[in-house]
Amino acid sequence: MINSRLNFQKKLEEILGSRNVYFQSPANVTMKYPAIVYKLEKVSEKTGSNVKYKRDYCYTVTLMHYDPDNDIVDKLLDLPYSSLDKTFSTQGLNHYVFTIYYKNEKENN
């Protein structure tokens, strides 16, 4: 799982264009914006003949950005198996909450 998560982290950093990507919203870190915070929501497994043969990781990903018309939303939606679940704004910061199933190409077929 760790390799898959780290690959997902790199992909999110690439999309955001910075290293302001945080796993599980760390309490001891002052976030810089725009930022992405993500957490593992669930793991889906496929089995056959009592053998697990495929594992997909589902993440909740929240983009926080001051600009309501940023292009990062579209970049996240361009990922396979992604959907925008809700949006909201608080203290001038726009939040976009996605569900993204990340399939590490090296781990999954």
pLDDT for 21-43, tens place per residue? 999 877 888 899 999 999 999 98
pLDDT digits (tens, 9 = 90+) for 46-104: 888 888 777 888 999 999 999 999 999 999 999 999 999 999 999 999 999 999 998 75
- For 3, residues 6+ apart whose C-beta sits below 8 A from its C-beta are 104, 106, 107
In whole angstroms, what separates CA 76 from the centre of its chain? 8
Query: In this structure, which CATH number among 3.40.50, 3.30.2000, 3.30.70, 1.10.3470 belongs to the domain 2-102?
Result: 3.30.2000
pTM, whole model, 2 decimals?
0.87
